[in-house]
Amino acid sequence: MIRSTVILLLIVLTFPLPALGHPHPLPDVIAEVQYKMVVEINPRDIATRNKLGMVYVRMNKLQEAENQFAEVLKQAPSDFDAHNGMGLVKIRQRDYSAALPWIQKAIALSDSDIAVRYNLGFVYEQTGHYREAETAYRKALAVNDKNIGNGANQIVVGWRQTIEIALKGLNNKLNMMEPQSKGSKGF
């Protein structure tokens, strides 16, 4: 046990903390240890708390993620990453009505983030608000295209396909609903 802890610490201390890039190159279990160490040394480091929260989201440790984002919001009530993270936690919990205000606030803080706009469409779609979902997905495409035009990286380029797939699925739902609503009008 002690030997494995020492080996893990050596690995952790060998790798520098990644920059803001997502996804980061470290496995989440190692990133979790690194970020926890940094937060323990500097509890007011909100950037690292947000990163730790995102690691917890990916690991499905949702209560821990929520705790990290809540701590950030105590220190910085207008932090985009914390609002976005809280929205992601609620989405993972399938509490879409609770996710909506977090995502809307994140968009109000930074309207150029593709993922948060995609998540808005996803939440609307999951709650049956299909026209709002379509609008949100289309805005995500517009933001994506703008970011690509500004020289965005490969990750941003991949969002177009994800959003187009979501729109196609949404359009299929809408097309399936139209005959039902037409048929029920006269009865």
pLDDT per residue over 36-63, tens digit each? 999 999 999 999 999 999 999 999 999 9
For residue 134, name the pLDDT band (cuts at 50, 70, 90).
very high
Radius of gyration of the chain from its Cα atoms, rounded to whole angstroms: 20
In whole angstroms, what is the distance from residue 84 CA to residue 58 CA? 14
In whole angstroms, what is the distance from residue 129 CA to residue 126 CA? 8
**Average pLDDT over all residues of the chain:** 83
For residue 91, name the pLDDT band (cuts at 50, 70, 90).
very high
Within 8 A by CB and 6+ apart from 4, the residues are: none
In whole angstroms, what is the distance from residue 133 CA to residue 167 CA? 9
Which CATH code of 1.25.40.10, 3.30.470.20, 2.40.110.10, 3.40.50.10860 fits the domain covering 12-110?
1.25.40.10
Domain spans of the chain, in order of start: 12-110, 111-175
Find which of 93-107, 138-152, 163-177 is predicted with most confidence, using mean pLDDT. Answer: 93-107
Assigned architecture for domain 111-175 = Up-down Bundle (1.20)
- Sign (positive or negative) of CA dihedral 139, 84, 121, 115: positive
Task: Say if residues 52 and 60 touch (Cβ distance below 8 Å).
Answer: no
The whole-number pLDDT of residue 160 equals 78
The whole-number pLDDT of residue 109 equals 97
